[in-house]
């Protein structure tokens, strides 16, 4: 799903904020930062999802391998320009 209307429009935090309200997120995976500490966008993701959802970090190539895995059913492309603005959501069933 392509939402990248223009650079910076629609941001990944905009999309995550909406998704958090309408789907059951079970786990979040983000790309590991070399320094080991989350960068600003990752901290924003953590703030949006809340402390009740586990967060995992994967190396760059492992993260991209996960993105292209058989379990991936939807990819949303935003206009996000910040580095490390990628996030994988494992979602549960909505009843």
Question: Where does the pLDDT of residue 95 fall: very low under 50, low under 70, confident under 90, or very high at 90 and above?
Answer: low
pTM: 0.87
Asked if residue 93 has pLDDT above 80, the reply is: no
Residue 6 maps to a domain: no
DSSP 33: P
Burial class (CB in 10 A: 0-12, 13-18, 19+), 32: middle
Residue 77 maps to a domain: yes
Say how many domains are in the chain: 1
Residue 31 maps to a domain: yes
How do residues 21-32 score in pLDDT, each as one tens digit?
999 999 999 999
Q: What integer best gives the mean pLDDT of the chain?
A: 92
Residue 2 maps to a domain: no
For residue 85, give its domain range: 12-91
How do residues 45-56 score in pLDDT, each as one tens digit?
999 999 999 999
């Amino acid at each position: 799903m392509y939402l990248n209307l223009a650079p910076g429009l629609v941001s990944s935090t905009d999309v995550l904020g909406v998704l958090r309200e309408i789907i059951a997120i079970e786990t979040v995976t983000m790309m590991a930062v070399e320094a080991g500490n989350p960068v600003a966008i990752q901290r924003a993701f953590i703030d949006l999802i809340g402390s009740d959802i586990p967060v995992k970090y994967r190396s760059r190539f492992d993260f991209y391998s996960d993105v292209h895995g058989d379990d991936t059913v939807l990819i949303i492309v935003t206009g996000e320009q910040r580095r490390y603005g990628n996030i994988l959501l494992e979602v549960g069933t909505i009843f």
